[in-house]
């Protein structure tokens, strides 16, 4: 920074500019690295950073996360730990693939394959770092200390090698298997998704449901009804399911005979005319054959299990809660359907491809998408039209339901039978639940709530994705079904004889080797790994464990602390836990803070399109990072609750935390000349000094306890309260001491205040690192000169219990302030301004206060005397409201002093400036006071001289003022 720039920044007194200076100091003096290399008597405090996707600039959610991840490590560093803060980047997966796809304009997976996986992956790799500079800027400005230079990236060879190692470890334990089952797939991305990915994308949508007519073979004109919310699956229908014990009826209508559940009759028939012909149990229907709605597959007699198809079966998942109490079965498109298909050996019809398009043999609909993203009902409408035209539609209806969508591309998902690789979470679950009991949550209800529930209900984890830009699944297979899992780069090199420096899909797909069992060629399965497997493996992969850092990980596992948004209960927190459970049989983290969501001020989601929130960088430029940090830290967003972001809130946080404190400091600085040397603990016996030190100790206790409990609002809110008491009670009541001729008392006030500043700075340092640094540098006298000194290199002060004397002072001061409050209320009721001195109050209280407090009371309430009456009841205060001529004069004197001092302030006079003051056109009474008490007024207002004039002289610009009803003017020369 040039000298000129430095000067410019100094000229600005704004807090954001002061923060920029602090940043400059941290940078030049390398304070972050010094905080890492300083003595750490307690050893390592292990923190894992969840890697963000750099697919956009950081938003408030990221800021909240970053603040938590800064506060705790700063605190633990001051406590005497070494806290490494390695940054990570999540590079793989659908987010980045989707961005590249948008740029390419590709619509299908096939187009990417035509382009070439290598080329596509290169584009993804190039896109990953687009926003990294924006991130660095924001994170730095926020004051978060993180090692972004040596960050880990999930796409780096070392990282990916550990992923392979991890996979192989879990494989060797028999916890990974392949299965063909009903899953949710995204037909646009053409990939399977995991339970948590699916759970992220539920939205309410309107759909068309249909009740179709299935005519019984050998009973012309008699139809079994079945209701479906996915009419497009009817082509894949091979069976109908009934409940064996459910009551059904056969009814006669004008259009024919229908069979449906008795319990559904009124709802289904509504006002239609019908007559019950007979009643029967579901079991009576089982085995009956019906005519298929479509014949595309029925006509293919070579279809496996053809004979078992198009019949009625009993199933225990059938209910009469909705529909008609009879379920249409398409084994390729639903879990229950598939299970029944397996159990009853039903034909299997998959008339739709992974791409969501009807296959060619479905002649009337070939090529249609089952759930087009722009009009998701379009194909169902076509199916319903077909049914109606063929006399097979009983009823159609619009209805709303919650339907899953792709979390990345928003395409409606479809339930689709396909094969996938799974981690056997079910088998691990008892141990995962046991280990989860040892995790400490903030807020604590997440432990058994969101996280515990999700873990409890967890199913096997589908880890294979049919995509491109990710870690490749390291399974090689031969034609005879033998499998080999590769666990390291070196192993693959040995097997293939190739030199390998990249193990992305496009590089390893062509690598083959001979099967150890049968000698046939082994090729890699084409799937890649769910990128949550990568972020869940970060504790090992960031260290390239076990290829490097073997001992380090063994020594440091698990993490003491992690933090992310509450949504990660189903994802990062969960996958960390699952992988460490599978790998090591233990939990991956001991303490976790989960934050809530930052919403726009109106309670809506923050949206770039709607521009309903201020840019984070602009907010920091306007109010400073400390103000933003303190605002967020004090809010329930740090305890997993939502926050409606308010710029006003940030402004208020600036005022309460930063400005008030800075004003106290500026006042101190005016009188602190000659105060220097090492900061010492004050030994003053002045009750105000003892009181503020006791308050400081309590603040230390409160913050320390809240930090240890990982409760950030509790650790932050008391700071503003303390600053308020420092300013509105300690400083206000000590103001005269700072100016006092009593050297000892003045010294006591200054030394105490200085000590409070340096200690408060330490307590504030984790939450508000900029103001803390500034205050500490100034008050300690280092003033940014010694580059080895910083509040962030200081040691956290151990909390000491209050001694007896301190407890007494705290109590007495509380009584005093209580009396003040009551006294002011009495004055208010009597309509007597505080500047009007009164003769006395009578206080009824349990104990009489000592002289120190009586003096405070007299000053604060502007009284000449205080009388105490002993009383066991609550404190009561009575005011003597008689204003004697003497009191009146004293009141006028004080008003004059205040008015003149205000004028001095307006004219920017300092304490070394004297001024000639003239009072013009005042009343007899006021002039009298000036005559009688001029010397006192002159002393308190540095007036030299003070005189009374009858009229304004030429060249004077007097200020109009008022005392009671008398208007007059004061001139200051």
Measured CA to CA, the distance from residue 82 to residue 45 in angstroms comes to: 6
Closer to Zn ion at the Cβ: 277 or 516? 516
Helix (H) or strand (E) holding 839: strand 838-845
Q: Which is nearer to Zn ion, 480 or 902 (CB)?
A: 480
Q: Is residue 227 among the annotated active site residues?
A: no
CA distance 839 to 833: 14
Asked whether the beta carbons of 170 and 94 are under 8 A apart, the reply is: no
Nearer to Zn ion, 184 or 762 (CB): 184
608 is catalytic: yes
CB of 189 to Zn ion, least distance (A): 3
If the CB atoms of residues 355 and 651 are measured against Zn ion, the closer one turns out to be: 355
| CB atoms inside a 10 Å sphere around CB 663 | 13
Given the residues 568, 777, 812, 836, the one annotated as active site:
568
> Nearer to Zn ion by C-beta: 268 or 531?
531
* The pairing of beta strand 643-644 with beta strand 598-599: parallel
SS3 content of the chain, % helix, strand, coil (to 5): 45, 20, 35
Integer Cα distance of 731 and 736 in angstroms: 9
- CB-based contact 850:813 (threshold 8 Å): no
Tokens representing residue 426 in the block: 């079910």
Measured from the CB atom, is 517 or 548 closer to Zn ion?
A: 517
**CA-CA distance, 88 to 588, in Å (whole number)?**
17
Write out the residues near Zn ion by the rule CB under 5 A: 186, 188-189, 406, 409, 411, 478, 480, 482, 515, 517-518, 520
Q: Which is nearer to Zn ion, 411 or 418 (CB)?
A: 411
Determine whether 90 is an active site residue. yes
136 classed as catalytic: no
Shortest CB 198 distance to Zn ion, Å: 11
Alpha-carbon distance 860 to 827, whole Å?
Answer: 12
Q: Which is nearer to Zn ion, 186 or 751 (CB)?
A: 186
Active-site residue, 568 included: yes
Question: Which member of 227, 441, 454, 532 is catalytic?
Answer: 532
| Distance in Å, CB of 408 to Zn ion, minimum | 5
- Shortest distance in whole angstroms from residue 520 CB to Zn ion: 5
Q: Considering only CA atoms, give the Rg of the chain.
A: 39
| Shortest Å, Cβ 515 to Zn ion | 3
Reply yes or no on whether 171 is catalytic. no
Beta bridge partners of 442: 593
Do the beta carbons of residue 358 and residue 367 sit within 8 Å? yes
Which residues 6+ apart lie within 8 Å of 737 measured at CB?
A: 686, 688, 745, 746, 748, 749
Catalytic residue among 10, 12, 608, 800: 608
| 214 and 293 Cβ atoms separated by less than 8 Å | yes
- Helices and strands (H and E) in the chain: how many: 35, 35
- Name the minimum Å distance from CB 532 to Zn ion: 16
> C-alpha 590: how far from its chain's center?
19
Joined together, the tokens standing for residue 121 give: 């992956």
What is the Cα–Cα distance from 166 to 297, expressed in whole angstroms? 44
Q: Which of 289, 437, 605, 787 is catalytic?
A: 605
Q: How far is the CB of 482 from Zn ion (least distance, A)?
A: 3
Total residue count of the chain as it appears in this document = 973
Write down the residue that tokens 């079945």 correspond to. 226
Least distance from Zn ion to the Cβ atom of residue 512, Å: 12
Quickly count: other Cβ atoms within 10 Å of residue 64's Cβ: 25
User: Toward Zn ion, which CB reaches closer, 192 or 411?
Assistant: 411
Contact (CB, 8 A) for 884 and 839:
yes
Tokens standing for residue 830? 């009597």
Please report how close the Cβ of residue 144 comes to Zn ion at its closest, in angstroms: 33
DSSP 88-105: EEB--SHHHHHHHHHHHT
- Smallest gap from Cβ 201 to Zn ion, in A, equals 9
Q: Exposure string (b/e) for 402-415, b if CB count within 10 Å is 16 or more?
A: ebbbbbbbebbbbb
The answer to whether 241 and 312 are in contact (CB under 8 A) is yes
Q: Measured between alpha carbons, how far is 129 from 145 in angstroms, rounded to an integer?
A: 20
Crossing angle for the helix pair 572-584 and 425-436, nearest 10 degrees?
Answer: 100
Nearer to Zn ion, 486 or 594 (CB): 486
Specify which residues 194 forms β-bridges with.
none
Is 648 known to be catalytic? no
Residue 447: strand, helix, or coil: coil
CB of 479 to Zn ion, least distance (A): 7
Q: Which is nearer to Zn ion, 372 or 449 (CB)?
A: 372
Which residue, among 416, 237, 426, has the nearest Cα to 335 in the 3D structure? 416
The least distance separating Zn ion from the CB of residue 478, rounded to whole angstroms, comes to: 3
Nearest CB to Zn ion, comparing residues 482 and 552: 482
Q: Round to whole Å and give the CA distance between 393 and 386.
A: 9
Q: Which of 90, 207, 337, 626 is catalytic?
A: 90
From the candidates 572, 662, 691, 729, give the one annotated as an active-site residue.
572
Supply the residues annotated as catalytic: 51, 90, 532, 568, 572, 605, 608
């Amino acid at each position: 920074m040039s000298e000129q720039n430095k000067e410019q920044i100094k000229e600005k007194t704004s807090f954001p500019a002061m923060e920029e200076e602090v940043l400059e100091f941290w940078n030049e003096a390398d304070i972050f690295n010094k905080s890492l290399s300083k003595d750490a008597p307690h050893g390592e405090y292990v923190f894992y950073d969840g890697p963000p996707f750099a697919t956009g600039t950081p938003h408030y959610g990221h800021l909240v996360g970053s603040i938590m991840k800064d506060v705790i490590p700063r605190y633990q560093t001051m406590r005497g730990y070494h806290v490494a803060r390695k940054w990570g980047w999540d590079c793989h997966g659908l987010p980045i693939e989707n961005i590249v796809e948008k740029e390419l304009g590709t619509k299908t997976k096939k187009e990417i394959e035509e382009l070439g996986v290598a080329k596509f992956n290169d584009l993804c790799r190039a896109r990953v770092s687009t926003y990294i500079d924006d991130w660095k800027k924001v994170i730095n400005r926020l004051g978060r200390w993180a090692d972004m230079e040596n960050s880990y990236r999930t796409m780096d060879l070392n990282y990916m090698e550990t992923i392979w190692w991890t996979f192989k470890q879990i494989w060797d334990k028999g916890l990974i298997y392949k299965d063909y089952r009903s899953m949710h797939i995204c037909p646009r991305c053409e990939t399977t998704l995991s339970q948590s990915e699916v759970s992220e994308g539920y939205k309410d949508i309107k759909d068309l449901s249909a009740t179709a007519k299935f005519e019984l073979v050998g009973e012309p004109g008699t139809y079994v009804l079945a209701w479906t919310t996915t009419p497009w699956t009817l082509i894949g229908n091979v069976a109908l399911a009934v409940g064996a014990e459910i009551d059904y009826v056969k009814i006669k209508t004008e259009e024919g005979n229908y069979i449906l559940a008795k319990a559904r009759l009124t709802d289904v028939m509504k006002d239609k005319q019908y007559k019950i012909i007979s009643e029967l149990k579901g079991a009576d229907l089982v085995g009956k054959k019906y005519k298929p709605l479509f014949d595309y597959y029925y006509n293919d007699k070579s279809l496996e299990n053809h004979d078992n198809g198009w019949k009625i079966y009993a199933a225990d998942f059938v209910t009469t809660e909705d529909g008609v109490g009879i379920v249409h079965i398409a084994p390729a498109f639903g879990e229950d359907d598939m299970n029944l298909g397996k159990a009853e050996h039903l034909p299997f019809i998959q008339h739709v491809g992974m791409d969501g398009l009807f296959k060619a043999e479905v002649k009337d609909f070939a090529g249609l998408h089952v759930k087009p993203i722009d009009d998701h009902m379009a194909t169902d409408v076509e199916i319903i039209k077909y049914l109606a035209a063929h006399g097979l539609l009983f009823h159609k209806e619009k209805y709303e339901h919650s339907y899953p969508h792709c979390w990345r591309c928003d395409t409606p998902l479809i339930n689709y039978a396909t094969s996938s690789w799974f981690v056997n979470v079910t088998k691990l679950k008892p141990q995962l639940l046991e280990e989860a009991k040892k995790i400490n949550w903030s807020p604590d209800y997440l432990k058994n709530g969101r996280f515990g529930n999700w873990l409890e209900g967890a199913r096997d984890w589908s880890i294979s994705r049919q995509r491109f830009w990710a870690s490749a699944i390291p399974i090689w297979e031969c034609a005879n079904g033998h499998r080999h899992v590769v666990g390291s780069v070196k192993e693959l090199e040995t097997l293939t004889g190739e030199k390998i420096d990249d193990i992305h899909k496009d590089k390893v797909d062509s690598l083959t080797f001979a099967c150890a069992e049968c000698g046939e060629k082994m090729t890699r399965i084409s799937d890649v790994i769910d990128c949550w497997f990568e972020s869940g493996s970060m504790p090992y992969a960031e260290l390239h464990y076990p290829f490097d850092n073997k001992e380090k990980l063994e020594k440091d596992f698990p993490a003491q602390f992690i933090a992310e948004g509450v949504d990660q209960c189903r994802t990062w927190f969960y996958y960390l836990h699952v992988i460490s459970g599978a790998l090591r049989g233990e939990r991956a983290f001991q303490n976790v803070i989960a934050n809530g969501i930052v919403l726009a001020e109106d309670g809506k989601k923050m949206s770039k399109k709607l521009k309903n929130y201020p840019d984070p960088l602009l907010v920091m430029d306007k109010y400073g990072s400390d103000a933003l940090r303190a605002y967020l830290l004090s809010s329930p967003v740090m305890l997993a609750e939502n926050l409606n972001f308010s710029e006003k809130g940030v402004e208020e946080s600036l005022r309460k935390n930063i400005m008030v404190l800075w004003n106290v400091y500026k006042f101190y600085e005016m009188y602190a000349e000659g105060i220097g040397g090492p900061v010492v603990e004050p030994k003053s016996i002045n009750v105000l000094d003892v009181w503020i030190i006791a308050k400081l100790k309590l603040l230390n206790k409160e913050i320390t306890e809240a930090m240890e409990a990982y409760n950030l609002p509790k650790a932050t809110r008391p700071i503003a309260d303390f600053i308020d008491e420092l300013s509105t009670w300690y400083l206000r009541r000590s103001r005269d001491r700072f100016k006092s001729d009593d050297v000892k008392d003045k010294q006591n006030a200054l030394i105490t205040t200085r000590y409070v500043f340096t200690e408060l700075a330490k307590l504030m340092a984790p939450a508000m690192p900029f103001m803390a640094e500034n205050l500490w540098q100034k008050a300690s006298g280092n003033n940014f000169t010694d580059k080895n000194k910083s509040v962030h290199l200081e040691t956290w002060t151990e909390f000491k219990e209050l001694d007896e004397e301190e407890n007494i002072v705290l109590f007495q001061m509380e009584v005093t302030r209580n009396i003040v409050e009551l006294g002011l209320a009495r004055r208010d009721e009597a309509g007597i301004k505080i500047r009007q001195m009164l003769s006395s109050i009578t206080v009824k209280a349990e104990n009489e206060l000592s002289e120190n407090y009586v003096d405070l009371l007299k000053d604060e309430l502007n009284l000449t005397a205080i009388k105490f009456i002993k009383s066991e009841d609550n404190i009561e205060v009575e005011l003597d409201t008689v204003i004697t001529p003497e009191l009146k004069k004293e009141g006028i004197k004080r008003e004059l002093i205040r008015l003149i001092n205000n004028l001095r302030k307006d004219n920017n006079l300092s304490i070394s400036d004297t001024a000639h003051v003239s009072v013009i056109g005042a009343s007899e009474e006021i002039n009298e006071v000036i005559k009688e008490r001029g010397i006192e007024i002159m002393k308190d207002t540095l007036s030299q001289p003070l005189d009374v004039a009858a009229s304004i002289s030429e060249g004077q610009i007097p200020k109009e003022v008022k005392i009671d009803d008398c208007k007059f003017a004061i001139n200051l020369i």
